[in-house]
Amino acid sequence: MKIGAGGPQAQAVQEITRVLDTGRLRPPAGEVLLQGEDLAMRRLRYELNKAVERMRRAAEMYRQPLDFMVKRGNKPGIKARDRRTGAEREFTLEEAAAWLEELEENKGRNLNGYA
């Protein structure tokens, strides 16, 4: 069978282009919102997300039952919740960095306390 102009290959391509779902090509709603925000807010959210990930890893390392999440709104921050007691606390980016530095400084003290 000859493949060329008007053959089965051209017909298959036409059918595929008609069936193409245009909804898949749209960016998710979150990306659209982020593209509309100013650069400073996007950078702040990026830094908050990095801090939350570092705090989660630190809590796992010390086996602490803490949950962290980024608090959205006109004053974004980090929200921490203790799973055992249900107590909640909010951190700014600077307070979170200070908390992480304090954990790094006291890392050796915690290990020496077991000896």
pLDDT for the residue 84: 92
pLDDT for the residue 34: 56
Instruction: Please tell me the distance from the alpha carbon of residue 31 to that of residue 42, in angstroms, as a whole number.
Output: 11
Alpha helices in the chain (DSSP H): 8-19, 29-36, 39-61, 93-105, 107-114
Instruction: Please indicate, yes or no, whether the overall pTM of this predicted structure exceeds 0.75.
Output: no
pLDDT per residue rounded down to tens, the chain (115 residues): 555 565 666 676 666 666 555 555 555 555 655 565 677 788 888 899 999 999 999 888 888 889 999 998 888 899 999 999 999 999 999 999 998 898 888 765 654 544 4
